[in-house]
Amino acid sequence: MSSNDATSFGTPDEAYAFAAPFRAPRGSPIRELFKYVGRPGMISFAGGYPSKDLFDREGLERALEAAYRSDPIACLQYGDTAGALPLRRSLARLMGARGVDLGPDDIVVTTGSQQGFDLLLRTLIAPGDTALIEEPAYPAAISALRLAGANIVTVRTDRDGIDVDALAAQLYAWPPASRPKLLYTVPTFANPTGSTLPRERREALVRLAQAERIVLVEDDPYGELRFAGTPVPPLLALADGCPGARDWVVYFGSLSKIVAPGLRIGWAIAPAPIARRMIVAKQTSDLCTAPLAQEAARHYLDSGSLAPHLRSVVGAYRSRCDAMLKALAHFAPNDVEFSAPEGGMFVWARLTGGRDAGEVLKRAIERNVMFVPGTAFFVHEPDPSSLRLSFAAPDEAEAFEGARRLASALSF
Amino acid sequence: MSSNDATSFGTPDEAYAFAAPFRAPRGSPIRELFKYVGRPGMISFAGGYPSKDLFDREGLERALEAAYRSDPIACLQYGDTAGALPLRRSLARLMGARGVDLGPDDIVVTTGSQQGFDLLLRTLIAPGDTALIEEPAYPAAISALRLAGANIVTVRTDRDGIDVDALAAQLYAWPPASRPKLLYTVPTFANPTGSTLPRERREALVRLAQAERIVLVEDDPYGELRFAGTPVPPLLALADGCPGARDWVVYFGSLSKIVAPGLRIGWAIAPAPIARRMIVAKQTSDLCTAPLAQEAARHYLDSGSLAPHLRSVVGAYRSRCDAMLKALAHFAPNDVEFSAPEGGMFVWARLTGGRDAGEVLKRAIERNVMFVPGTAFFVHEPDPSSLRLSFAAPDEAEAFEGARRLASALSF
């Protein structure tokens, strides 16, 4: 990260009348770890990045060439704010395979799914409005809610994700004057916990959102990275089984974790009145998502390369996750609990003996292994006893060795 | 544009509790014209797009290939939120040629300069804060201010851009409780008027911004498209001649009008405390600008292709503008005034005889020529007597013929 410190500007912060959410900007605790990533021999479980070793470089090069050669003007000129129609058609087919029946006009292409959530917040959330979020949660979602000035209220999760009964009780007791407008969740292979919401809870959650008229935000970047267990339909697919519920679900998809983040291609599926406003907000945000990347993504999706690529990525993540969990089971002390995800990129660990993950991190870095302390994933009261371990980046042998080193750091 | 109307969602707008700026979203009047653009034989002076015939397709294909082949991982993985260092180095050199002395750490890469302004507003403007904007003005800048909930106050312009004396008088009389936080301007080849602020006014404007502690926002997408007259330094370059002024200028650059919009590459240069907050806002907006496009842009800039490409584009715009103005001088009635820009993409016309540009547009469309009525460029009280004519898209012969048709539409 550029710190922008090495400038000739001498005016102190206080000279500027910043908007309220920016009075005290927070640095990301995850980014603080970056300085250690490049250290020789370091094995990192810290990143939330897909493995660079697993990109389909050749397939993407072919897609890029095909896109540019078949229609250079479409790659170089401004494009529709809602996204290029050919890409939206390809994404509609992809969503069909996920069990969601829709057409290209139901899809808005976004500059990563991060932008989708940001655009949604800009249409729905005025400063002071209440928004619900599962906890622990994806930090950039928390940041986006903070930037929007939302009154953030957390929703309890257990090893299977959101506790829908507890949420229902929470909502029934809610004062009518400050009803929450939305609930954000990553129901499949959650970041940071790796947990997946079971089908019954999904159906109950969709019913609850519809009954309570709360926009249910389903962020689904990892859903296709399943390496164990039985697939569960997205909330958006299940909404079709509950009359009226489709009007209360907003879905975000992304190519970042299944193809490549560098394309910055995400998509949003929202009820029409919300989608229309998101498009207006996108006009002032970036006019359109890079047409060059949209065309390349479309050619990649239409090439048939995604399915074999996903099989290869999912196989690698399975063996990396297995290696990590095997080493942890063998070497780690008994007072540490680990989740066993069925897919995605993350294992969640809890120190039941009262130790602090920040202290463990210091000892881990001494041993050339890194992770993200769980405190990064909490809104109000950080839990110092949890750790997020990503098995996406290291190869199988490194995953085993890194987990062995981590076990050593945990043994004090 | 996708209207997102063809969905199965039946819930009316009123069901959702939208944030205030979205209660009544406005469609862009310019986008309303899109349906006529594809009509056979239509000559369009309406678009604000660079000419698709003038893209350096081969040079960009070489840059894209070189980028991907030399570092596919940099193209495919997440990148720094502030932008890829190699691209920021190239942009720093480009800014040096514009008379601005800075380093790569002073530059934030944005997803088009549109995003730069959006990020700036998110750091500076809370709902109700006052923002100044020249009038007539770039519509997407007006939209961004509206979306931010700003109290928008317009600044008077004449044929040379902002009337700085009038602005100074306006500011001296300002109530201290609601000081404006920023002033937005396109000082060089403005959209829509094509006007360029003279050097003396620039120096006075920079001094005024510094003295009044107002952030002076210089949007400069067209500055390198000069085909007549003498170059004038950017406000940012002139700020170095006024102690303390550099702390009050924010500059936005863009490759959209000089290379290709489809890359979505812009950049922001801001005082460090503002830049830091813009980077935090960008983390929640789109994490980073598409690394693929950044790498391609960097290879293009470093290839030396930009200078000869610009000579070719500027030459074409000169002859198109000349052809348009020649036909208008010859055929248009005497009660229509036209600006004579020294560069950029736009001619501004005024109907001094009391006619309405909307009526002229209807007659123009019957004659297969289009333009944008000036009403699109006003904040509070649209002026029905003005027209924006872009000479960027039609070739020289079409520019002449289109202007001849327009003159006929004006003769009633």
Is residue B287 in a domain?
A: yes
Same domain for B275 and B140, yes or no, is: yes
Residue range(s) defining the domain that contains residue A313? 19-48+308-410
Contact A234, A251 (CB under 8 A): yes
Q: Do A274 and B17 touch (CB under 8 A)?
A: no
| Chain A contact present for B79, CB below 8 A | yes
A49 vs B255, higher pLDDT: B255
- Total domains in chain A come to 2
Query: What pLDDT score does A28 carry?
Result: 62
Is residue A61 in a domain?
A: no
CATH code: domain of residue A27: 3.90.1150.10
Q: What is the ipTM of this complex?
A: 0.93
What chain A residue is nearest to B278 in terms of C-alpha separation? A22
- Give A50's contacts in chain B (Cβ within 8 Å): 77
Structure tokens at A190: 């959650």
Structure tokens at A21: 């959410």
Q: Measure the CA–CA gap between B58 and B53, rounded to whole angstroms.
A: 12
Is residue A379 in a domain?
A: yes
Tell me what the mean pLDDT of segment B34-61 comes to. Answer: 90
Residue B7 C-alpha, separation from nearest chain A C-alpha, in angstroms: 6
CATH code: domain of residue A183: 3.40.640.10
Is residue A339 in a domain?
A: yes
Same domain for B47 and B79, yes or no, is: no
HSE of B250, CA atoms in CB hemisphere, 13 A? 31
Give the end of a domain, one of A302, A335, A364: A302
Is residue B16 in a domain?
A: no
User: Which helix (H) or strand (E) segment is A118 a member of?
Assistant: helix A112-124
Question: Residue A13: CB partners within 8 Å, gap ≥ 6?
Answer: B273
Same domain for A360 and A390, yes or no, is: yes
pLDDT bin (cut points 50, 70, 90) of residue B2 is very low
Q: pLDDT of A360-388, one tens digit each?
A: 999 999 999 999 999 999 999 999 999 99
By CB atoms closer than 10 A (0-12, 13-18, 19+), residue B128 is: exposed
Same domain for A83 and A107, yes or no, is: yes
Whether pLDDT at B27 is above 70: no
Query: What pLDDT score does A256 carry?
Result: 97
Residue A152 C-alpha, separation from nearest chain B C-alpha, in angstroms: 16
Chain B, window 337-366: residues with a beta carbon less than 8 angstroms from a chain A beta carbon: none
Query: What pLDDT score does B395 carry?
Result: 96
Query: What pLDDT score does A332 carry?
Result: 96
Same domain for A328 and A274, yes or no, is: no
Cis preceding linkage at A273, omega within 30: no
Give the end of a domain, one of A268, A302, A336: A302
Q: pLDDT of B190-223, one tens digit each?
A: 999 999 999 999 999 999 999 999 999 999 999 9
Is residue A6 in a domain?
A: no
User: Which helix (H) or strand (E) segment is A205 a member of?
Assistant: helix A199-212
Mutation target for A interface from B13, B57, B77, B213: give the one with most A CBs within 10 A. B77
Mean pLDDT of all residues in chain A? 93
Whether pLDDT at B401 is above 70: yes
Residue B90 C-alpha, separation from nearest chain A C-alpha, in angstroms: 15
Same domain for A36 and A128, yes or no, is: no
**Unique residue bearing structure tokens 């290209």:** A104
- What are the Cα distances from residue A7, in Å, to A99, B206, B247, B277? 52, 20, 11, 15
Q: pLDDT of A274-318, one tens digit each?
A: 999 999 999 999 999 999 999 999 999 999 999 999 999 999 999
- DSSP character for A226? B
Tell me what the mean pLDDT of segment B292-318 comes to. Answer: 98
The shares of helix, strand and coil residues in chain B, as percent rounded to the nearest 5, are: 45, 15, 40
Counting residues of chain A whose pLDDT is more than 70, the rounded percentage is 95
Question: Residue A48: CB partners within 8 Å, gap ≥ 6?
Answer: A30, A191, A345, A346, A390, A392
Same domain for A298 and A313, yes or no, is: no
Whether pLDDT at A10 is above 70: no
pLDDT bin (cut points 50, 70, 90) of residue A64 is very high
Contact A215, A209 (CB under 8 A): yes
Same domain for A281 and A347, yes or no, is: no
B412 vs B222, higher pLDDT: B222
Tell me what the mean pLDDT of segment A66-94 comes to. Answer: 96
Facing B264 at nearest CB: one of A60, A290, A296:
A290
Whether pLDDT at A235 is above 70: yes
Contact B82, B108 (CB under 8 A): yes
- Give A271's contacts in chain B (Cβ within 8 Å): 7, 9, 11, 16
Give the end of a domain, one of A269, A302, A335: A302
HSE of B246, CA atoms in CB hemisphere, 13 A? 16
Query: What pLDDT score does A47 carry?
Result: 86
Contact A234, A97 (CB under 8 A): no
* AA letter at A295: E
Structure tokens at B371: 């333009």
Chain B, window 177-196: residues with a beta carbon less than 8 angstroms from a chain A beta carbon: 179, 181
| Chain A contact present for B261, CB below 8 A | yes
Same domain for A284 and A312, yes or no, is: no
Same domain for A80 and A222, yes or no, is: yes
Question: Residue B122: CB partners within 8 Å, gap ≥ 6?
Answer: A19, A22, A147, B148, B278, B281
Is residue A161 in a domain?
A: yes
Whether pLDDT at A2 is above 80: no
Same domain for A296 and A320, yes or no, is: no
Is residue B64 in a domain?
A: no
Same domain for A287 and A396, yes or no, is: no
Alpha helices of B213-305 — where are they, by DSSP H? 235-239, 272-285, 291-302
